Structure 1
Amino acid sequence: MKALLRDTGKRTAGWLLSRSVPRYRYRNCVFILAHMRCGSTALSNILCSRPDVSGYGEAHIRHDGETALGQLALNQMRRGGWKPQAPWLFDKILHSRHDDAVPPEFFDARAIFVVRRPGDAIGSIVRLFAGLKKNEYGTREEAAGYYVERLAMLEALWHGFPARRRIGLTHEALMGDPAHALECISERLGFVPPLKNIYTSPAASRRGGGGDPLVSGRHTRIDPALSGAPREDLRLELRADLLNEAQDRYRRLSNLFLEDRASV
């Protein structure tokens, strides 16, 4: 009952705020739509270090209507990531429970999609939760199930955005040549001045599921040397059908990203 009352209170406050502040509309939002362990925290930090972007990382808001943006702003106020005069409102969405019932207006936002090779991503998810001593995603099968489901949702969302309001990147492209990746994002989505590879890691992005709790705070930029070589090492450690589906989902999305870049 307490949780229900708390949620109702948050939604009511979010509704009031969204109605009182005209700029809290999806057309004024920037989202990273991705999955866990794909480099999204570093990219979030770059965006949220700008004075024109209000946010800090993953807010865990369910985007089921424009009143969600009032809740997003309230979340940022509580977590210290709110910039009341910033024209852009930011969120990072890594779980489909937060974007599986989006309204049509959601696709008026600007969206940056990021995906990582399944072997690297799934292994990293398992290692993260083991290091945090959490039971969630304790096995490769659980992490692979999340990965497959999330990429399916990302593919569905991708087709909802107009080409000029979306861009897709692989982890390898972002980490391997961040300057070029940021240039492409800036050009496609209209960031003026362009994004720069420098950031301050917000404290809120390192706790409470806001972002990377282990590594993000140690850096102030994306260092290409940190990307490392791909580690597609799960062929003997994951069911063949699950691995094949994960690889197919990654291949489909990365191909969509390439086709999109070539067509615009």
Structure 2
Amino acid sequence: MQLQETLRKVKSEIINNYYSYRINTTSDPYNILFRREPYKILFILGHMRAGSSLLTHLLTTNPEITGFGETHLQYSSDKDFKNLILKVYSRVRDLNMDHKYVLDKILHNNKFTEREIPDSEQLYTIFLVREPKRSIDSIIGIKPHWNQKQALGYYSKRLLMLENYAKAINSKERSFFVTHNQLLNNTELVFESLQKFLEVKQPFSEQYEISSTTGKRGVGDWAGNIKAGRIIRNSQKVESSMPDELIEQGIQAFNQCCNTLSEYCQTIERH
């Protein structure tokens, strides 16, 4: 057993050195050794409990997109994308390294150290938001030490920051906006629009691959139906104990954010 463990560690170290060599030998943030085309970086920008783990799985099941969820990396410039590429491949273990997009999802305001999203033509963003009632109740479910005002405070500040990101990027070619409700209830339209936005060959599907990080704390959703391997729709009405005043504040923040994102981003194409 000890020999097997030693061999496993040696193998892991060799693979990690392989990734590091290919990624860090070149200075360009988007290029690696032995690869012709530069990578594109794909950010899911949302808030906690918006459905970002589901969207991550739906996206990374596509053979042109790789990622595993929330990396918790910080970004000060596009040079930090090298860290993302290394961290993702060290986790997903794909020696071919032939994906078009490398994905990270960002749910908190402290991940861009300059308080601004890096400016890059190679960066594509998907903005994902969810209405306040279910969001805030669900946030408290994973943050039991928060009260409703604290959860609403996080939610409102995060939505405002998403607006700021969209304005800073200011590119409909590289920004896409979708709501949790659209993802669940206009799924095919969302899939068609995302395929066109990302210019990937294979259509997206309601079924997705389960990985070793699925349902893991710190990476993504560990409290929902994420291990089902497919979209689960729960139409059951949830009663909220939030005071009407707080609900109204959340709705105002949500509507304002949706209006701004709709102005600065591509949205689903209705036929």
TM-score of the aligned structures, taking structure 1 as reference length: 0.78
Q: Deviations over 1:159-205 (max 9, x none)?
A: 22411211111111111232221112222332222222221132224
Q: Which position in structure 1 is the counterpart of 2:155?
A: 147
Q: Percent identity over the alignment? A: 24
Q: 1:37 to 1:22 in 2, by over 3 A?
A: closer
Match of residue 60, structure 2, among 32, 44, 48 = 48
Any gaps of 5 or more consecutive residues in structure 2?
A: 1-19
Q: Which position in structure 2 is the counterpart of 1:9?
A: none
Tell me which amino acid in the other structure corresponds to 1:44. T
Q: Once the 2 structures are TM-superposed, how far is the Cα of residue 81 of structure 1 from its aligned partner?
A: 5.9
Counterpart-to-counterpart distance in 1, 2:25 and 2:140: 38
1:111 equivalent to 2:120? Answer no
1:250 equivalent to 2:254? Answer yes
Q: 1:200 to 1:261 in 2, by over 3 A?
A: closer
| Equivalent pair of 1:56/1:81 in contact (CA under 8 Å) | no
| Equivalent pair of 2:42/2:125 in contact (CA under 8 Å) | yes
Any gaps of 5 or more consecutive residues in structure 1?
A: 1-12
Counterpart-to-counterpart distance in 1, 2:248 and 2:76: 32
TM-score of the aligned structures, taking structure 2 as reference length: 0.76
1:63 equivalent to 2:75? Answer yes
Q: 1:101 to 1:262 in 2, by over 3 A?
A: closer
Q: Which position in structure 2 is the counterpart of 1:121?
A: 135
Structure with the larger helix share: 1
Counterpart-to-counterpart distance in 2, 1:263 and 1:177: 11
Tell me which amino acid in the other structure corresponds to 1:214. A
Q: 1:231 to 1:204 in 2, by over 3 A?
A: same
Q: Once the 2 structures are TM-superposed, how far is the Cα of residue 74 of structure 1 from its aligned partner?
A: 2.5
Q: 1:186 to 1:230 in 2, by over 3 A?
A: farther
Structure possessing the higher radius of gyration over alpha carbons: 2
Q: Deviations over 1:14-34 (max 9, x none)?
A: 994662774379971111110
Pick which of 206-215 and 143-152 moved more: 206-215
Counterpart-to-counterpart distance in 2, 1:55 and 1:81: 11
Match of residue 208, structure 2, among 181, 189, 199 = 199
Counterpart-to-counterpart distance in 2, 1:27 and 1:80: 16
Q: Once the 2 structures are TM-superposed, how far is the Cα of residue 232 of structure 1 from its aligned partner?
A: 5.8
Counterpart-to-counterpart distance in 1, 2:94 and 2:159: 29
Counterpart-to-counterpart distance in 1, 2:93 and 2:234: 27
CA RMSD of aligned residues (A): 3.0
Q: Once the 2 structures are TM-superposed, how far is the Cα of residue 111 of structure 1 from its aligned partner?
A: 1.2
Q: Once the 2 structures are TM-superposed, how far is the Cα of residue 123 of structure 1 from its aligned partner?
A: 0.6
Match of residue 102, structure 1, among 110, 117, 121 = 117
| Equivalent pair of 1:55/1:81 in contact (CA under 8 Å) | no
